[in-house]
Amino acid sequence: MTSRHTVHSRPFRPDAEEEEKKAELKATAKKELEEWYARYHEQIEKAKLANREVSKNAEKEWVHERDSPAPKGQEWEAIAKLCDFNPKAARNSKDVSRMRSIILQLKQSPPQTNKTP
């Protein structure tokens, strides 16, 4: 009984080798975490730059398309491109479903213009 009693009564003291391994693991984990954050922030910055470039190009293309004259007979199609046809049911907004339907009808069958002087 004395051997068992002495094992339990002895205070737990981690040896130096175990403490050294813990410190090494903590240092490795800290280094890996810092590297991960560096890669993460680098990816975010690259994505921001790419998104800005895409946005600039899309805006330039939209302005060019908006400012270029529509071919004869396709004026209503150009107007329909500028309109938002997604229905939005906000309480404070006006109902524009009738306007949307008229623009779509004009796009599909534009009115005949008489050009007789």
Cα–Cα dist 43/37, whole Å: 10
CA 1 – CA 87 distance, rounded (Å): 85
Q: What is the pLDDT of residue 4?
A: 55
- The secondary structure of 20-61 as a DSSP string is HHHHHHHHHHHHHHHHHHHHHHHHHHHHHHHHHHHHHHHHHH
pTM summary value: 0.46
Q: Cα(20)–Cα(31) distance, rounded to whole angstroms? A: 16
pLDDT for residue 94: 76
Weakly modelled stretches of the chain, pLDDT under 50: none
> Whole-angstrom Cα distance, residue 105 to residue 102?
5
